[in-house]
């Protein structure tokens, strides 16, 4: 039986993970559940799942959860803050860590899991976007396993040879094709994008996701971040990766080989599929997802990505080429801009403007330590916040 800690248990990935675990009570033992500040939801999950540990992102929330659980006969240990997250990601009894904390907040505990030699089920793409080389070094140096949970990267992983040597040319691979739904504004006239609302941006046509990732899908920054993530996961260059608009979200990604073959992974748009794959790899277990009915789908459409409509794609690829802390700066600026947009402070089209201006203003450094990465993150956030205030004025 494998012990698992779920970082970000109250989010969509965390809840989907619990849905898969529920189907396999004899295979996995739940060691820890963590949440940001949703005390009520984590309290509910604790009463249902009885983990050994429960962690809130701050001490005040942890105290509140501890008080709620004191009314029940339970020995769940409640921890708070980043130290608590690092602890449950590194516990000896934890074999697998589901890294599903959204944004930069997930970096330190996910890195701790890598350093502790765990199987890291990576749903937090920011860990690679912010500190790719440091993170991959931690995986290799500590005998950890890294399995991607993003549906696109999990699909790519499934379409590659089992004996990955991390050299695309040696495996006969010529291109990685990352599919994208195009989000809610794929057909919206470009001149109307500045007027879209947060509610419209969060109304994804195919996936049920949190607000931040929904906005990233609308700007297609999520695909930009996935380009960066794929470069680190599969030792690829940005030029070897192509984003393909596929509105049905049935093909989750593809791999092209030098003999002309293109292998694709298909399935219904449900995150339980990649979660079950990573939990059981190299075996397969039921995920609870219904089989894909090809006759119901009937057709598959593909389009080139419009870089004028989606400037974040180029911004991300350019940041990856620039190297160093450029991708850290990109990620921080985007997080700030998306937050400001969701608050109603800036326009939708201001998101890419803030990211571009921040990348232009801040000189990237060599990303040779976590302190350097965090310094770049902080500097980018400060500058992006100032830009957002100026645009909102």
Q: Containing domain of residue 18, as a range?
A: 2-148
DSSP letter string, 119-177: EEEE--THHHHHHHHHHHHHHHHTT-EEEE-SHHHHHHHHHS-SS--S-TTTTTEEEEE
Q: What CATH number does the domain containing 25 carry? A: 3.40.50.720
Q: What is the mean pLDDT of the chain?
A: 94
Summarize pLDDT for 282-321 with one digit per residue, the tens. Answer: 999 999 999 999 999 999 999 999 999 999 999 999 999 9
Residues 372, 289 share a domain: no
Last residue of a domain, one of 109, 129, 148: 148
pTM of the predicted model, to two decimals? 0.91
* Whether residue 249 is found in the same domain as residue 173: yes
We report the CATH number of the domain holding residue 357 as 1.10.1740.10
Whose CA is closest to 123, among 351, 279, 322, 282? 279
Residue ending a domain, among 126, 148, 170, is 148
For 39-67, what is each residue's pLDDT tens digit? 999 999 999 999 999 999 999 999 999 99
Residues 6+ apart with CB under 8 A from 264: 155, 159, 251, 253, 254
Find out whether 62 and 38 touch, Cβ atoms under 8 Å.
no
pLDDT of residue 207: 67
Indicate whether 106 and 254 sit together in one domain.
Answer: no
State whether 200 and 171 are in the same domain.
Answer: yes
**Number of domains the chain contains:** 3
pLDDT of residue 118: 98
Sign of CA dihedral 65, 68, 71, 74: negative
The two beta strands, 173-180 and 77-80, are: unpaired
Is residue 271 located within the same domain as residue 157?
A: yes
- Bridge partners of 263, per DSSP, are 255
276 & 346 share domain: no
pLDDT at 208 over 70: no
CA distance 4 to 319: 34
Last residue of a domain, one of 148, 183, 217: 148
CA–CA dist 60, 90 (Å, integer) = 23
Task: Kindly state whether residues 280 and 303 are assigned to the same domain.
Answer: yes
Tell me what pLDDT residue 244 has: 97
Give the pLDDT confidence of 183-201 residue by residue, as tens digits.
899 999 999 999 999 999 9
């Amino acid at each position: 039986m494998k012990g698992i800690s779920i970082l970000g248990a109250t989010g969509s990935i965390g809840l989907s993970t619990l849905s898969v675990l529920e189907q396999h009570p004899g295979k996995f033992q739940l060691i820890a559940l963590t949440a940001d500040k949703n005390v009520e939801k984590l309290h509910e999950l604790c009463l249902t799942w009885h983990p050994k540990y429960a962690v809130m992102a701050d001490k005040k929330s942890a105290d509140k959860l501890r008080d709620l659980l004191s009314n029940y006969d339970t020995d769940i240990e409640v921890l708070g803050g980043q130290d608590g997250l690092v602890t449950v990601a590194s516990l000896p009894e934890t074999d697998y860590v589901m890294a599903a904390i959204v944004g930069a907040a997930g970096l330190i505990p996910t890195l701790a899991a890598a350093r502790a030699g765990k199987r890291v089920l990576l749903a937090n793409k920011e860990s690679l976007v912010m500190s790719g080389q440091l993170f991959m070094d931690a995986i290799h140096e500590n005998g950890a396993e890294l399995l991607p949970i993003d549906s696109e990267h999990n699909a790519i992983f499934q379409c590659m040879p089992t004996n990955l040597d991390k050299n695309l040319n040696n495996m006969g691979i010529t291109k990685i094709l990352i599919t994208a739904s195009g989000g809610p504004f794929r057909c919206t006239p470009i001149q109307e994008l500045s007027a879209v609302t947060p509610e419209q941006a969060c109304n994804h046509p195919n996936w049920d996701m949190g607000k931040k990732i929904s906005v990233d899908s609308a700007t297609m920054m999520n695909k930009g971040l996935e380009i960066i993530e794929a470069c680190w996961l599969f030792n690829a260059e940005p030029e070897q990766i192509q984003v393909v608009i596929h509105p049905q979200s049935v093909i989750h990604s593809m791999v092209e080989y030098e003999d002309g073959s293109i292998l694709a992974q298909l399935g219904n748009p449900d995150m339980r599929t990649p979660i079950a794959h990573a939990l059981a790899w190299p075996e397969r277990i039921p995920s609870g997802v219904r089989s894909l009915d090809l006759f119901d789908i009937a057709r598959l459409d593909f389009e080139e990505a419009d870089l004028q409509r989606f400037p974040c794609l180029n911004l991300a690829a350019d940041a990856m080429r620039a190297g160093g802390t450029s991708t850290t700066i990109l990620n921080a600026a985007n997080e700030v801009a998306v937050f400001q947009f969701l608050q109603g402070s800036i326009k939708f089209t201001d998101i890419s403007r803030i990211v571009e201006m921040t990348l232009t203003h801040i000189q990237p450094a060599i990303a040779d330590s976590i302190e350097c990465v965090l310094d770049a993150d902080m500097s980018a956030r400060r500058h992006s916040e100032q830009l957002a205030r100026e645009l909102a004025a």
